Every structure is written in structure tokens, then in C-alpha cells.
Amino acid sequence: MTLTSKPLAVLIFIILFGGIAFTTSMGWFATESTKEPVTFTEGEFAGLANPADIRGSYTFGDIENSFGIPSTILAQAFNIQTDDPSLFTIKELEVIYATSEFEVGTASVRLFVAFHNGLPLDLSTDMYLPENAALLLKEKKLAPEQLAYLELHTVPNPAAASGSPEAVPVQVTESAPESDSIEKLVKGKTTFQEILSWGVPQETIEQVMGIPMPNPLTKVKDYCLEKGLDFEVIKTALQAEIDKLK
């Protein structure tokens, strides 16, 4: 069989776009990570989105879609001033609250969402909220232990430290430029390889985890979930080891 250019062009289109159409119909052609957190599988909250699975790449809009909390409320809670709060990416909180004594980031959003919607969340680790978020939550009916947790885990709003009660204006971008120190943060997608490349020896990682390190390409969070370890605890301990090297 001999092929000329026109049938070849048609075949290229058929195979390429046919392949894409087929795999799309099968749900295999994902061009981005899913922005829907996993749901509780049992108990009274079964079927509801689990705030523990909120990730740094989510926007306030994604939280609104999954948990029904308006982006404007989230922006108010975290002191974010922007034209469209639904586009604000959670990971940017770490940059905005970089000067805070305690970390305000993805875990803070998990805490806020859990308390706001009355969903369970493991409180054995320290997660901090800015004053605005705490004030908003106190308007809800919180359990005494939740109120006590809030009392101990509230940090000043970022602008309050400089004496201004105003919110911090931010430029909304999906990937804000990050400084070297910010890049060396243990996050949900951080792999063991990255931690090794930041200078933390394998022995130290294994000491922190209490178990042997898996394939270095494994994400720390995935391995913690697999082994039943608390990611927040491991993350804090590994971060401390990284910070020691700075």
C-alpha cells in the first residue's frame, strides 16, 4: 500500500484526535490534577468532602465548589484583598504570612473549613489561623474544645503587625515567584528526593519517620497516608531539619 500526503494528513488527524476523544470519553485524558478533595467514606459525614485533603494548589474557588464556603468569606478570613478571591491560590498564604511567628498556610485553610462546616479534623498538631478567621468562626456554634483550640492557635493579621487593620493587597497569580527559602518547604507534593536534595540525609529522614524511607520519588504525604503516619507531624519535623541547614 502506498500513501500520499493527503490521506496521511487525514490519518494523522484521525489517530490524534480520535485517540484524544476516546481517552477523554473513558476519563483517561486529564490535563490537570483533580481539584476535588477526597470524601469521608464512613460515619455521619460519609460522602462529604474531607478538609484534610485540601491542597496548596487549590484556589478559594475550588474550596467554594467543594465545601460551599463563599470565596469572599475565605478572603475575609485570611485578610486577602483582591478583585476576584475565587482565583486566590492557597499556597500563596505562606508568602503573605511569611513574617508570622507561626505558619499560616494550607493547614490553616483546612482548619478554617473544618470548623466552619462542622467537619472532623485531627487537631493533634498545631495549625494557626489569623484573627479575622478566628472572629468569623466564633460567630458559629463551636464546641468548647474547638474554642479552646482557637484561643491557643490565633495569630495577628499580617497587616496588624505594622499597626494597620487593613487587609493586604495581593497580586493573584497561580504560581507566584518563590524565593529560595520558600521553595524549601515541605508541602503535599514534596518528594523524599527533594528533601534529600536540600541536604537532609536519608538517616535523618528515617529517624524522623521512624520507618525506612521508600523510593525517593515517592511523595512524603502519600507515604504518610499509606503507612498511617500523621503527615502534619512528619512535615513539621522534616521542615525543622531543613531549617537547621539554612
Partner 1 sequence: MKIFGKRLFRPHSIWIRKIVQWFFFLLIALISTNHTLVENGGGIPFLSTASLHALCPFGGVVTIYQYATVGTFVQKIHESAFVLMIIGFVLAFLFGPVFCGWVCPLGTIQEWVAKLGRKFFKRRYNQFIPDHLDKVLRYLRYLVLAWVVYVTATSGTLIFAEYDPYFALFNFWSSEVAIGGLIILGATLVLSVFIERPWCKYACPYGAVLGITNIFRVFQIKRAESTCKADGACSIMCPMNIKVDTIHTVRDHQCISCLECTSEAICPVAKTVVFTTGAVK
Q: What is the contact surface with partner 1 in residues (CB under 8 A)?
A: 1-6, 8-9, 11-13, 15-16, 19-20, 23, 28-33, 83-84, 87, 172-175, 177, 189, 191, 193-194, 197, 215-219, 222
Closest CA to 188 of 46, 100, 58, 18: 58
Q: Which is nearer to partner 1, 92 or 127 (CB)?
A: 92
Q: Which is nearer to partner 1, 32 or 42 (CB)?
A: 32
Q: What is the DSSP letter of 52?
A: G
Q: Which is nearer to partner 1, 92 or 114 (CB)?
A: 92
Q: Which is nearer to partner 1, 120 or 188 (CB)?
A: 188
Task: Write out the three cell numbers for 176.
Answer: 507566584
Rounded least distance, CB 13 to partner 1, Å? 8
How far apart are the C-alpha atoms of 205 and 209, rounded to whole Å?
6
Q: Which is nearer to partner 1, 8 or 148 (CB)?
A: 8
Rounded least distance, CB 171 to partner 1, Å? 10
CA pseudo-torsion sign 138, 139, 143, 144: positive
146, 115 in Cβ contact below 8 A? yes
Q: Which is nearer to partner 1, 11 or 147 (CB)?
A: 11
89, 174 in Cβ contact below 8 A? yes
Contacts (Cβ under 8 Å, ≥6 apart) of 26: none
How far apart are the C-alpha atoms of 213 and 245, rounded to whole Å?
20
129, 137 in Cβ contact below 8 A? yes
Q: Which is nearer to partner 1, 2 or 179 (CB)?
A: 2
Rounded least distance, CB 152 to partner 1, Å? 35
Region of 231 please: left (phi>0), alpha (psi -120 to 50) or beta: alpha
Rounded least distance, CB 172 to partner 1, Å? 8
Rounded least distance, CB 53 to partner 1, Å? 16
Rounded least distance, CB 25 to partner 1, Å? 12
Q: What is the DSSP letter of 167?
A: P
Rounded least distance, CB 28 to partner 1, Å? 6
Cβ burial, residue 58 (10 Å; 0-12/13-18/19+): buried
